[in-house]
Structure 1
Amino acid sequence: MRRFFVRPEEITGETILLTGPEVHHLRVVLRLQPGSNIELFDGTGTIYQAEVQNLTPDSIRGRIIQKYVELVHDPFPVTLAQGILKGKKMDVVVQKATELGVATLIPVLSCYCEAGKNLERRIDRWQRVVLESCKQCGRANPMRISSVQELADISVAAFPYPVFCWEKEKRSFLTPGYLAVPGQVLLLIGPEGGFNDQEVEWATDNNFQSVRLGPYVLRAETAALAAVSIVKYLGSLAGTDGDN
């Protein structure tokens, strides 16, 4: 059953009053009728099974049949600190990071970033991408997108596993056994131009583990997805479920 997003304020008791763009999709594209069953999530981890009772051009009213909380234990939650990428490349990172189970995304301003104008509008778009990705992959707890931060303002102390993906690293790779005791992972990925010498020095001074992701230089968006996938796999090798 396909999953749709309902805002918590659209739920009253056992009734759901769905508004916004989901209404058009359900009415016009999927042609739902009264009596149809739908599945919804509210972004807090709660899943609802509901029966459609009434449809109008602006809203859909449904009766909650069943609800449950989707509990997920992630012993190695990943925060992705991503240098802001140009255009739709950042959309791709947001989409795939959501699908891969990243807990939090920090959009990072660094020396070689070209964030462009209308950054607030871009953040709003990324939030929409997260919700669309959650509907597609069945994730009940959306990835959190933090406020934009300068690289030097990132608080590293809370992360037992700070990892700095750097194309000039020659010796160090993420290997089995790196993740041992459960704890938060911070993945730092640069923008298209990478990091300058001062930023590399900052990462070193803040005890980041510098790693290379393979023998080739990866595009920034590829590096982010490769790093997340590797960390999730290493989490599974630690004998625990690393899915988010």
Structure 2
Amino acid sequence: MRLSRIHTAQALVPGSEVEMDARACRYLSQVLRLRAGQSIVLFNGDGRDYAAELTRCDRRGCTARIGNVLSTESQARLPIHLGIGISRGERMDFAIQKSVELGVQALTPLTTSRSVVQLTSERRDKRMEHWQGVIISACEQCGRSRLPVLHPPLSLGDWLNGQPTGLLLYHEAAHTLATVAPPEGTLNLLIGPEGGLGEDERNLAIRSGFTDVRLGPRVLRTETAPLAALAAIQVLWGDFR
């Protein structure tokens, strides 16, 4: 049986004991119903997994004793930075979750002309905390030992200023992934929100050095597009080969 993987922000030193945060404790004690003496796997983003044994696990708190190092990181060979238009709740969560599972190393939520969701300063902070939780949960499930970097939301223009080249998904593009040159270094991937990017925004991205590509003859939803694009990219140039 596969052991549960749990993220912690604490330093993990073999032989030491760590206390789980409220989220992890609730999951271990109330969802999985684990108890003291049972084994789990811990990681803190340093690229390694650690064996651990629960020394306490109940509603009042959970602690674990750290054992030996189990493995090193399973980072994707191709660094991918996903810039994605902010979409409504579950759609954005799904896109982030699957992007993490498919190996992205950085994500930037983008505000665009067709963004339905508008973030105030307070709401932005809450969304960032929520999205970080989605990333952590996805890493726990898929076996990643390093967390992808979640950048604060930016306008499309500001994001493009920091990305010299990349790929822009557009269903009427002349190019396909099979016809563009393999990336050198980090691949920047741009995907719009519900309704896609406006014509002016697509032109801005192309002038900034991006190449527009299509994924077949069908129009994909904003939450489906990252999954399809990243899977195809990993087959062509990444670690699906």
Aligned-pair RMSD on alpha carbons? 2.4
Amino acid at match of 1:125: H
Paired with 2:17 and 2:217, the residues of 1 have a C-alpha distance of 55
Of 151, 154, 158, 2:156 maps to: 151
Alpha-carbon displacement from aligned partner over 1:72-103 (angstroms, at most 9, x marks no partner): 45442111100111221101101111111111
Alpha-carbon displacement from aligned partner over 1:131-170 (angstroms, at most 9, x marks no partner): 11111111111222101111111156655x500111221x
Q: Do structure 1's residue 179 and structure 2's residue 182 form an aligned pair?
A: yes
SS for the counterpart of 1:108 is strand
Alpha-carbon displacement from aligned partner over 1:33-80 (angstroms, at most 9, x marks no partner): 332211111123231111222345332222211125623454421111
Amino acid at match of 1:60: C
Paired with 1:172 and 1:104, the residues of 2 have a C-alpha distance of 25
| Structure 1 residue 119 displacement after superposition | 2.6
Of 213, 216, 219, 1:214 maps to: 216
Of 33, 56, 64, 1:62 maps to: 64
1:191 aligns to what? 193
2:167 aligns to what? 163
Scaled by the length of structure 2, the TM-score of the pair is 0.87
Q: Do structure 1's residue 124 and structure 2's residue 129 form an aligned pair?
A: yes
Paired with 1:106 and 1:98, the residues of 2 have a C-alpha distance of 13
Change (3 A) 1:27 1:75: closer
Paired with 1:57 and 1:86, the residues of 2 have a C-alpha distance of 33
Amino acid at match of 1:46: R
- Contact 2:75 2:103 survives alignment (8 Å): no
**Structure 1 residue runs without a partner (length 5+):** none
Paired with 2:82 and 2:240, the residues of 1 have a C-alpha distance of 15
Change (3 A) 1:152 1:65: same
Alignment of 1:1-244 (within 5 A): 1-8=3-10, 14-67=16-69, 70-72=72-74, 74-117=76-119, 118-155=123-160, 162-169=166-173, 171-175=174-178, 178-179=181-182, 182-236=184-238, 241=239
Q: Percent identity?
A: 31
SS for the counterpart of 1:121 is helix
SS for the counterpart of 1:220 is coil
Paired with 2:97 and 2:75, the residues of 1 have a C-alpha distance of 21
| Structure 1 residue 19 displacement after superposition | 2.9
Paired with 2:161 and 2:236, the residues of 1 have a C-alpha distance of 21
Paired with 2:57 and 2:219, the residues of 1 have a C-alpha distance of 52
Change (3 A) 1:92 1:55: closer
Paired with 2:152 and 2:171, the residues of 1 have a C-alpha distance of 26
Number of residue pairs matched? 236
SS for the counterpart of 1:61 is strand
**Structure 2 residue runs without a partner (length 5+):** none
Paired with 2:161 and 2:192, the residues of 1 have a C-alpha distance of 16
Amino acid at match of 2:131: W
- Contact 1:178 1:234 survives alignment (8 Å): no
- Contact 1:74 1:242 survives alignment (8 Å): no
Paired with 1:122 and 1:176, the residues of 2 have a C-alpha distance of 37
Paired with 2:66 and 2:11, the residues of 1 have a C-alpha distance of 15
Scaled by the length of structure 1, the TM-score of the pair is 0.86
Which segment drifts farther, 75-84 or 148-157? 148-157
| Structure 1 residue 14 displacement after superposition | 1.6
